[in-house]
């Protein structure tokens, strides 16, 4: 029953994504949340989750100690996050965090640390002093009542119901159009009518993708938006809506990953990509308008490149540049940092702001370098020479 509840909760959180109603929903499911909590799609068991006031928790974190070992399901401890914690993406926190903690990207903390107001990044976690998340006068930034109202309406109504209503209307329009054009069939025209009806559905799928995902998505989120905005600003709601349009509602009807067409797909989202780009991940470029990629770059399975952060409850964008002949291997992450020419980020490694300067300047040597770990460091091994990627 516990595993079934976890499955239902995880599916519901994926449906709600970044909606501001998520904390209220999780309270109804048994979690204990403080005031001012922001949380997205997570892996969690609500009955064993305690979150303090003012916490920000991004997507795809594991917030439960539930384990299955040798046929036994166990929950060793409660997951407790103290007040004002920041949790990034893809972290594993079975026991939680103390008050004022920062947890970055791909970080694992098997035990709950004792000291407050520290930052943790990587596996094993690197510890550092967390910068202040308060404004100059010592208090959190506040948004206007109108901004708060629009944030709740946009994330709870537009992103969850209206956008999915538009998706249903596209399917209904395809049905109505096919019935109007072909009200009846004969035995000799069944195959021709079937072909035409299938073509109508396909054309409507492509047209809706171009209209809502490409055109509207680019209008909402592009390189001209502010690079630093408060959490309840219209910049954040526009970004949330564009993500829903492009990645969840009006997804591409074409499976371009692993082909030379994939570069064109990312260019439609605003990315600047050179020649002979190869990528096998559908959504490798999280913040396409802020990403520039050189020639002969490879991005492997589950690797991604992102240029945003929500630290201090502000959405911050930073340009990311990937040099020529760089390789981002399986499950590696590039987070708000540049990758130098010819650099290789090995599987499951993470490059981030603290090591960005090192990665850029360490790879200026023609032989290039290998980087491995979370956070990635130079392995002091030269990259083996390889031929330029063939034209696909």
Structure tokens at 11: 């599916």
Model confidence pTM above 0.95: no
pLDDT over 60 at 140, yes or no:
no
In this prediction, residues 285-294 reach a mean pLDDT of 94
Categorize the per-residue pLDDT at 391 as very low, low, confident or very high, splitting at 50, 70 and 90. very low
Q: Which CATH superfamily is domain 256-392 in?
A: Hexapeptide repeat proteins (2.160.10.10)
Higher pLDDT, 380 or 79: 79
Average pLDDT of the chain, as a whole number: 84
pLDDT over 80 at 194, yes or no:
yes
Q: Hey, which of 118-122, 179-183, 248-252, 335-339 has the most confident mean pLDDT?
A: 248-252
Opening angle at CA 371, ends 365 and 372, nearest 5 = 165
Two domains, one topology: 2-129 and 256-392: yes
pLDDT over 60 at 170, yes or no:
yes
Tens of pLDDT, residues 216-253: 999 999 999 999 999 999 999 999 999 999 999 999 99
Categorize the per-residue pLDDT at 11 as very low, low, confident or very high, splitting at 50, 70 and 90. confident
Tens of pLDDT, residues 25-54: 999 999 999 999 999 888 888 999 999 999
Tens of pLDDT, residues 87-107: 998 899 999 999 999 998 888
pLDDT over 50 at 144, yes or no:
yes
pLDDT over 70 at 286, yes or no:
yes
In this prediction, residues 184-207 reach a mean pLDDT of 86
The three state secondary structure string of 257-320 is CCCCHHHHHHHHCCCEECCCCEECCCCCECCHHHEEECCCCEECCCCEEECEECHHHEEEECCE
* Dihedrals phi, psi of 363, to nearest 5 degrees: -105, 15
Q: Measure the N-to-C terminal CA separation of the chain; round to a whole number of Å.
A: 50
> What does the domain layout of the chain look like in residue ranges?
2-129, 144-253, 256-392
Tens of pLDDT, residues 303-344: 999 999 888 888 999 999 999 999 999 988 898 888 889 888
pLDDT over 60 at 373, yes or no:
no
Query: Looking at the domain 2-129, which fold is it?
Result: UDP N-Acetylglucosamine Acyltransferase; domain 1 (2.160.10)
Give percent of the chain above pLDDT 70.
Answer: 86
In this prediction, residues 339-363 reach a mean pLDDT of 65
Nearest to 18 by CA among 36, 41, 46: 41
CB 44 within 8 A of CB 74: no
Burial category of 129 from C-beta neighbours within 10 Å (exposed 0-12, middle 13-18, buried 19 and up): exposed
């Amino acid at each position: 029953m516990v595993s079934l509840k976890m499955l239902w909760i995880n599916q519901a959180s994926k449906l709600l994504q970044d909606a501001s109603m998520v904390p209220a929903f999780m309270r109804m499911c048994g979690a204990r949340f403080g005031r001012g909590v922001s949380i997205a799609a997570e892996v969690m068991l609500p009955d064993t989750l305690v979150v303090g006031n003012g916490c920000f928790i991004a997507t795809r974190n594991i917030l439960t100690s539930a384990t299955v070992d040798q046929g036994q399901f166990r929950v060793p401890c409660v997951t407790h996050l103290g007040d004002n914690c920041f949790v990034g993406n893809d972290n594993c926190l079975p026991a939680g965090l103390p008050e004022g903690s920062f947890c970055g990207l791909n970080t694992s903390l098997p035990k709950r640390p004792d000291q407050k107001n520290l930052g943790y990044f990587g596996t094993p976690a690197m510890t550092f002093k967390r910068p202040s998340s308060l404004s100059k006068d010592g208090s959190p930034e506040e948004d206007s009542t109108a901004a708060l109202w629009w944030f709740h309406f946009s994330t709870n109504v537009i992103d969850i119901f209206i956008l999915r209503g538009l998706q249903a209307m596209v399917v209904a329009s395809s049905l109505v159009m096919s019935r109007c054009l072909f009200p009846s069939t004969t035995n000799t025209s069944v195959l021709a009518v079937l072909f035409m009806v299938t073509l109508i559905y396909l054309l409507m799928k492509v047209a809706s993708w171009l209209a809502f995902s490409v055109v509207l998505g680019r209008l909402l989120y592009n390189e001209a938006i502010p690079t630093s905005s408060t959490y309840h600003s219209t910049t954040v709601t526009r970004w949330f809506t564009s993500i829903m349009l492009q990645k969840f509602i009006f997804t591409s009807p074409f499976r371009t990953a692993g082909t030379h067409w994939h570069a064109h797909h990312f260019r439609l989202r605003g990315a600047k990509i050179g020649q002979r780009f190869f990528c096998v991940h559908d959504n490798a470029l999280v913040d396409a308008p802020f990403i520039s990629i050189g020639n002969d770059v490879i991005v492997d399975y589950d690797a991604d490149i992102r240029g945003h952060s929500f630290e201090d409850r502000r959405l911050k964008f930073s340009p990311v540049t990937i040099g020529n002949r760089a390789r981002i291997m399986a499950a590696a992450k590039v987070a708000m940092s540049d990758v130098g020419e010819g650099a290789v980020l090995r599987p499951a490694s993470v490059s981030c702001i603290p090591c960005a300067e090192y990665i850029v300047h360490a790879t200026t040597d023609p032989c290039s370098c290998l980087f491995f770990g979370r956070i990635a460091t130079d392995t002091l091994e030269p990259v083996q020479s390889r031929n330029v990627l063939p034209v696909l």
